[in-house]
Chain A
Amino acid sequence: MHHSIEVDHLSFSYPDSHAALRDVSLRISPGEKVALAGPNGAGKSTLILHLNGILKGDGQVTVCGLPVEQKNLGRVRAAVGLVFQNPDDQLFSPTVFDDVAFGPLYQGLPPAEVERRVTSALAAVRMSDYARRVSHHLSTGEKKRIAIATVLSMEPEILVLDEPTAGLDPRARRALINLLRGLPLTMLVSSHDLAMARELLPRMVVMDEGRIVADGPTQELLGDEKLLEAHGLEKP
């Protein structure tokens, strides 16, 4: 039985020598749903980009038992579904269908299987009627859901989301939370939306200045006002 995500002593500096991650270690078990909180610039996004090898720092990252290395990148990227913060960056194809089909296509699946994956991924986010639509004409909430479908179609083990509720109105936010609740995947969600974390994600990891400063049950950490205040967070 392997961990879903294992990060060992990971450090990373950007080319301008600004240290974004300092000796980060983290373990997430299969099926766990974890919130990743912390102020802007804490290193949350940088950590997320390490999980499927887009960035490469010093230290060991293992995903579903596979070390994140050049030779495993294809399998790692199929196992980790990364949903970026801005859906306009994630939806780069002419139509919704093409976007959702992109991942399966690059996994080398046969056309019939690609079609099946697209249909079921769109059904999972309740956007089945949108296959032929053009991404530009969708609302932010719709785009977010399509963005999630684009990684669900790869049938990943782990879903990693960067700020999924940013910029959504309350109704779209609620729909998204309900959608995420229904997905039986390991989840790592980077967010400032601590109310969502409390509702959806039983475990919370707090980062600040490139380090993990707290890791525990969400309820407990949200009760620790001193901790929250020290790291620029607010009790929801």
Chain B
Amino acid sequence: MHVHFLDPYRPRTSPIHALDPRVKFVLTLAYILTAALTPIAAWPVYILLLAAMLSVEILSSLGVRYVLKRASLALPFVLAAFPVIFTNGQTALFSFSIGSLTLTGYAEGLARFLSVALKSWLSVQAAIVLASSTPFPDLLQAMRAIRIPRLLVAMFGLMWRYLFVLVDEAMRLMRARAARSGHRAATGPSPRLRAGSRSGGSVAWRARVAGGMAGSLFLRAFERSDRIYMAMAARGYDGEVRALPLSSVKPAAWLALGSGLGMLFLLLLLGVLFWG
């Protein structure tokens, strides 16, 4: 039994997939940074950013619908910015009261809230395109290339490698529980036995079983980490993270990086100059 659905990578043949992962990684970070730094209510810049993102999504042949569907997962977190509507600004837009509490919505607050929502929506889309068009090992290489500490990158790698193994194990445990969670037959030998016999046990008992499963999963992971360390030591691991040197970035990739960064900078400049 194997879990694949956790891996966001979707293999396709597209210019976005073929782009050097290091370039993609840097451009994605730059895009998110641009979205974050663009001033509040610079609507035309947001539209341009969205247009750029949509073109990348179409180019990547992942499908706009696929990316947007995944991006909607981030929407609940935007609600954290919701109170801004009532706390920020002078121009009262609407007002209502709940009991003794009167809430006034301000136009500036609303603009701020919508900007935050749009920015996070755009950023999440960028991250989704990056993760869906780049195999994780390539992302790790990209992280190394931009000098994220090697130990951290090695830990990401191990986490990603064993996340799947751990989920497999959890699913096996759950399957084993399900296989032994039978119901008794509806027609028992005596009515007295049938009455009040509910299969599944009490909530407390179920919680204890689930707790035991979580505990055993933790112990297994702990023991596995020991065995992994032995396997690493057996092949000479000495506590220092080493890796082969990275290949050099091709001229075409440099060009893509330069033009992408240039475009994002212009958009940011536009936003700061006119709306900042």
Contacts and interface: CB of A to CB of B under 8 A. Distances in A.
A74 interface: yes
A77 interface: yes
A134 interface: yes
Contact of A94 (B157, B232, B244): B157
Contacts of B244: 101, 105, 111, 114-115
Per DSSP, chain A at the interface is: helix
A115 B245 CA distance: 11
A150 B235 contact: yes
A106 B236 contact: yes
A115 B4 CA distance: 29
A94 B160 contact: yes
B170 to A, nearest CB: 14
Contacts of B234: 52, 54, 77, 80, 82, 84
A24 B274 CA distance: 82
Determine which residue in B157, B231, B238, B242 has the highest number of CB atoms from chain A within 10 A of its CB, and name it. Answer: B231
B228 A89 contact: yes
Contacts of B2: 136-137
Given A78-B236, A150-B235, A136 B164 contact: yes
Contact size range, A: 35 or more
Given A77-B235, A106-B237, A94 B227 contact: no
B231 A90 contact: yes
A86 interface: yes
B140 interface: yes
Interface string A81-117: 0101010111111110010011101110001001100
Contacts of A101: 244
A161 interface: no
Interface in B229-259: 230-238, 242-245
Contact of B158 (A92, A102, A111, A136): A92
Nearest to B223: A89
A227 interface: no
A215 B7 CA distance: 49
A124 B79 CA distance: 57
Determine which residue in B137, B236, B242 has the highest number of CB atoms from chain A within 10 A of its CB, and name it. Answer: B236
B31 interface: no
Contact of B157 (A78, A93, A107): A93
Interface string B151-178: 0000001101110110000000000000
Determine which residue in B136, B137, B242 has the highest number of CB atoms from chain A within 10 A of its CB, and name it. Answer: B137
Determine which residue in A98, A107, A151 has the highest number of CB atoms from chain B within 10 A of its CB, and name it. Answer: A98
B206 interface: no
B224 interface: yes
A101 B236 CA distance: 12
B245 to A, nearest CB: 6
Contacts of A92: 158, 161-162, 228, 231-232
Nearest to B6: A136
A81 to B, nearest CB: 8
A151 B235 contact: yes
B164 A107 contact: no
A172 interface: no
A191 interface: no
B237 to A, nearest CB: 6
A206 to B, nearest CB: 25
B161 A77 contact: no
Contact of B137 (A82, A98, A114): A98
Contacts of A94: 136-137, 140, 157, 160-161
A154 interface: yes
Given A101-B244, A107-B236, A134-B137, A84 B161 contact: no
A105 B236 CA distance: 9
Nearest to B232: A92
B97 to A, nearest CB: 56
Contact of A84 (B157, B158, B230, B236): B230
A137 B160 CA distance: 13
Interface of B: 2, 4, 135-137, 140, 157-158, 160-162, 164-165, 224, 227-228, 230-238, 242-245
4 tightest A-B CB contacts, nearest first: A106-B236, A94-B137, A103-B235, A89-B227
5 contacts: A52-B234, A84-B230, A89-B227, A94-B140, A94-B160
